[in-house]
Structure 1
Amino acid sequence: MSGAFPQDSAAQEAFASSRDLPGSGFPERKDAMNIQGGRVSQSDDVSADQLLESLGYTPELARNRSTLQVAFMSFVLASIPYGLATTLSYPLIGGGPVDIIWGWFAVSLIIVCVAVSLGEITSVYPTAGGVYYQAFMLSPPAWRRIASWICGWLYTVGNITITLAVNFGTTLFFVGCINVFESEPGVGIFSPTDWQLYLIFLGITFLCNAVSSLGNRHLPLLDTAAIFWTFIGVLAIMVTILVVARGGRHSAEYVFTHFETHSGWPKGWSFMVGLLHAGYATSSTGMIISMCEEVRNPSTQVPKAMVATIFINTFAGLLFLIPLCFVLPNIEDLISSAQPVPVIIKSAVGNSGGAIALCLPLLVLAVLCGISCTTAASRCTWAFARDGAIPGSRWWRQVNHRLDAPLNAMMLSMVVQILLGLIYFGSQAAFNAFSGVGVISLTASYAVPIAISLFTGRKALKGAKFNMGIFGVFANVVALAWSALAMPLFCMPSVIPVTAETVNYAPVVFVAATVISAAWYIAWGHKNYAGPPTHDEEAYN
């Protein structure tokens, strides 16, 4: 990969200097504090902005988040009760209560390892570029640009498509909640056309972008309020449905041991396909890294927040799922419903008014999740554009200092989501692939720096503020094993035999995105993309 860079020392110096010139398309670079082999040495008295400058970037965003606020935003990104509610059909089809409860618990334990693995690396390289910056710095010099390019596009595509999936999922959940009111038994009062669904999606998308951009300074307060709202709402749902239970209650044996499959797959693989439920809800684990440049002490705050949030999420998920399993109506009837959770709640409370009241906390949390995903996706897009990897980078890397937000990058992300949403008019099954693509892309992007770090002996982690030692090695292996399983898993149809309505288009969309990014690299990136700014001279060889 060295052919795209000047080879003699004078030319290298001129090339490196050109990256700092106004209008060059690259961020201003500062003198390094202490760079050894491409790694930044950190000390307790080094401020977050000084550390960012040592990594090659000029601080442009206000650091207004504490450790708790970062953890709260990470929690809202996952939005566990809402995320689990919108995808509950997967484990219902795959294995019933066993898949719902034990699948969630098992995946949560695995995601702890993913969070630990990413947290270790983030403690060394805390930038908004996240995993793609880490991939660049951890890779051997000859592979740095291509590794960061691949990882950067995976991370960006994952952030944008998962935000799209969240906002459209909110649209469908909203319709499902309305239809707890019925015009006749089994028939909801609202049967929206494709245009009506798309207009609701547009309204939610515009709302999330407006709040994220205009209220950026107040988002930490919103995230803090969200966690209290979540647990109050979940407790209200749990107590009400268990106490009222108009349809009766199952035994504990049923809740924790009953397994029934409706997928057509063999039992073991059917259970695995049901894990899509938990995989989708935990896919946002690494998205919080994009907020590193708005955190006061990202080297320690972000890793701790990522890991702590998994335990909060696990508890909140069990608190939500176990009561639902105690009052499950007939599973075959639930499978025919597009949104089973409103149906379960209505069956338990016995009336539409009570059901919509209990669904309201989930709807509010859905919007808050969309706002957090919009924020994280805009930072990811901005960071990648800042390093010149996105066409028109000079526009997308600009920061609106009045709003203290990368507004242009946010608008780019929003426009892409709106355009991709039009696919729903062609095929609802094709649109559903975007949630799968988001998870696949994010999972793959997380795996890249973890794999590079592990297979290079974890050298960059020596002396890191968040180094888990031997457990870190174990966590790396588990995280990579999960990635190897989850990526093909999210390409599988949830039921067989496959029809045009049940086929999983995620691999098609994923391959298309990969081909487009590869073509852009061949046509432009190979000669023009230099990767993130670095003070390590090896990066230019």
Structure 2
Amino acid sequence: MSKPTTTTAGQTLTADEALLAQLGYKQEMKRELSSFTNYGVALSTICICSGLTSLFGYGLNTGGPAIMVWGWVVVAFFTLMVGLAMAEICSAFPTAGGLYYWAARLSRPEHKAFASWMTGWFNLLGQIAVTAGVVFGLALIIGATASIASDFSFSPTASDIVYIHIAISFSIGLANSLPPKFMATIMFVSTIWQVVTPFLIIICVLAMAPTHQTASYVFTDYENNTGIDSNAWVVLVGLLTAQFTFTGYDASAHMTEETKRADIAGPVGIVMAIVASAVTGFIFIIGLLFGMQDYTNTIGTATGLPLAQILYDSTGKNVTIFLMVMLIICCWFASYSCLLANSRVIYAFSRDGAIPGSKYWHIIHPTLKIPLNATWLACLLYAILAIPSIWNSAAFTAITSIATIGLYISYGIPIACKLLNPHLFEKPGPFSLGRYSNVVGVASIVWILVISVLFVLPEVMPVTAVNMNYACVLVGAVLFGAALTYAFSARHWFHGPVINVTSADLSGLSDEKDYAVTA
């Protein structure tokens, strides 16, 4: 272990605190997370049970089993490229600001503020959207479970789902308002739960299903219920099932100011969460497809959730309810983890004055040592995002699309900055890709550009006001809104990440001139 560092001001700092000071920030939150629980935050945020449960029906309609299986493999590979590129940068700059801080550090002085501003807003709104999607998916699971428990006499309405969504948002807000030691305990349990639940479901489905689909069906059957004539188009938009699931692994980076040995734990958490999710998700998908009894009955399920119908047809009512409760707990943990990361992004971005009302959102509670105000702001936004689904059934899909695109644009900007300005990344952290760094970076940028185009395309034909993919509208609103706000206002007062350490805090720290960010 690294020895503590003593500054000329007489402060004794741990290695993590010293590195954070060199990056420009004081240690304000408690470091309660270990490498394992930091990894657990990213694993729980990805949460294959949440993403695949809520979008399983979407996958069955847009390409069917073949695209769900092989699309997962393709998406997992390129997601790993993006994750590796991000992990390398995270190792050098482990701060709660994460991506928008990286964009500033890896941009030339004249571009620093704009790159940081755009990255921060895409990351913030993408994270809020993805968490709203996770919470909404959990509300659908709860509604489907209630339907099964009532022998289908109860069918949740759109309003019912929104009420459940708001209740879940409140519950994760309360849980995130507990002291940090509870956070570490919850993340430890969640990490185990995220692994146990999908395997338990698959074991039950395969062991109890009356019949099984053939390998030919699972790996080669193609289905198209979108109304789109182009099979290539359907295949491409079908990748959303996997790509939405593979989001949020930047959570490990946002938790680095609360993680011990953050320059190693943060990047390893990002990469291992992607790898573990890729393997588990592949098994989860093929297991459910083998256990599916009837395709038509599944996509037309009265539960409103095709995965619930697969469980019901395979295992019966009682076991299905038990497995659905396991899923509910798993997805609640995912919602909790997403809020953890969201609140830290709001806190960090507000710390640099980039959000309206910043003086309220970057406050650290004096006793709890957590960004309490930022936590509840995020919960309020989740509740608001669910409301449009009362009138428009396409709202949830729009949320998943903007979440995916918004997050991946924010992932891509700092990676692109690093490729364009290699001289600004001369001191990599302990996690380094070495000679493969540029190859991985280029592959990441190409993939991000591809999916950013794909997920604004129409997902069904003919396009109507109800089924339209509103992601193009929402992405455009974020892009032009953030850019115009910067052009007419923020460029005069936002200068990128601003240090909150003094010269005395930095005195005595090695290489502080190489690390500290100036306004």
8 Å Cα contact 2:49/2:331 also seen in 1 = no
8 Å Cα contact 1:90/1:273 also seen in 2 = no
- The 2-side partners of 1:475 and 1:348 are apart by 42
- The 2-side partners of 1:488 and 1:32 are apart by 52
Where structure 1 has 5 or more consecutive residues not aligned to the other structure, the ranges are 1-29, 34-44
Deviation by residue 1:178-198 (Cα, 9 ceiling, x = unmatched) = 223465xxxx32233443322
Percent identity, aligned pairs only, is: 30
Equivalent of 1:249 in 188, 212, 216? 212
- The 2-side partners of 1:537 and 1:211 are apart by 35
Equivalent of 2:425 in 444, 456, 460? 460
- The 1-side partners of 2:267 and 2:123 are apart by 18
1:348 to 2:311 alignment: no
Equivalent of 1:335 in 280, 289, 299? 299
Give the partner amino acid of 2:218.
Answer: V
Q: State the Cα distance separating 1:523 from its structure 2 match.
A: 4.1
1:232 to 2:200 alignment: no
Q: State the Cα distance separating 1:279 from its structure 2 match.
A: 0.4
Change beyond 3 A, Cα 1:537–1:87: closer
Give the partner amino acid of 2:202.
Answer: M
Q: State the Cα distance separating 1:459 from its structure 2 match.
A: 4.6
- The 2-side partners of 1:164 and 1:243 are apart by 34
1:113 to 2:81 alignment: yes
Q: State the Cα distance separating 1:537 from its structure 2 match.
A: 11
Equivalent of 2:45 in 77, 85, 88? 77
Give the partner amino acid of 1:152.
Answer: G
1:161 to 2:129 alignment: yes
Q: Which residue in the other structure is 1:139 paired with?
A: 107
Where structure 2 has 5 or more consecutive residues not aligned to the other structure, the ranges are 1-5, 500-512
8 Å Cα contact 1:128/1:383 also seen in 2 = yes
1:373 to 2:332 alignment: no
8 Å Cα contact 2:21/2:516 also seen in 1 = no
Q: State the Cα distance separating 1:303 from its structure 2 match.
A: 0.6
- The 1-side partners of 2:382 and 2:484 are apart by 21
- The 2-side partners of 1:267 and 1:518 are apart by 36
1:209 to 2:173 alignment: yes
1:196 to 2:164 alignment: no
Equivalent of 1:286 in 237, 247, 250? 250
Choose 260-269 or 101-110, whichever is displaced more. Answer: 260-269
- Matches for 1:398-477 after TM superposition, within 5 Å: 398-457=363-422, 459-477=424-442
- The 2-side partners of 1:519 and 1:354 are apart by 54
Q: State the Cα distance separating 1:398 from its structure 2 match.
A: 0.6
- The 2-side partners of 1:461 and 1:539 are apart by 16
- Matches for 1:84-99 after TM superposition, within 5 Å: 84-99=52-67
1:276 to 2:250 alignment: no
- The 2-side partners of 1:111 and 1:308 are apart by 12
Deviation by residue 1:471-496 (Cα, 9 ceiling, x = unmatched) = 22221112111101111222123222
8 Å Cα contact 2:89/2:428 also seen in 1 = no
Change beyond 3 A, Cα 1:83–1:431: closer
Q: Which residue in the other structure is 1:525 paired with?
A: 490
8 Å Cα contact 1:32/1:55 also seen in 2 = no
Deviation by residue 1:173-215 (Cα, 9 ceiling, x = unmatched) = 21122223465xxxx3223344332221111000011101125
- The 2-side partners of 1:537 and 1:65 are apart by 24
1:64 to 2:32 alignment: yes
Paired residues in the alignment total: 495
Aligned partner of residue 425 in structure 2, secondary structure? helix
Q: Which residue in the other structure is 1:5 paired with?
A: none
- The 1-side partners of 2:8 and 2:307 are apart by 53
Deviation by residue 1:493-523 (Cα, 9 ceiling, x = unmatched) = 3222223332111111222233332343244
Q: State the Cα distance separating 1:131 from its structure 2 match.
A: 0.5
8 Å Cα contact 2:136/2:396 also seen in 1 = no
Equivalent of 1:493 in 450, 454, 458? 458
8 Å Cα contact 1:32/1:53 also seen in 2 = no
8 Å Cα contact 1:162/1:439 also seen in 2 = yes
Aligned partner of residue 123 in structure 1, secondary structure? helix
1:361 to 2:329 alignment: no
8 Å Cα contact 1:32/1:54 also seen in 2 = no
Deviation by residue 1:328-380 (Cα, 9 ceiling, x = unmatched) = 2333333334311000111112x222211122211111110000001100000
8 Å Cα contact 1:453/1:460 also seen in 2 = yes
- The 1-side partners of 2:245 and 2:360 are apart by 33
Q: State the Cα distance separating 1:314 from its structure 2 match.
A: 1.4
Choose 74-83 or 215-224, whichever is displaced more. Answer: 215-224
Change beyond 3 A, Cα 1:529–1:63: same
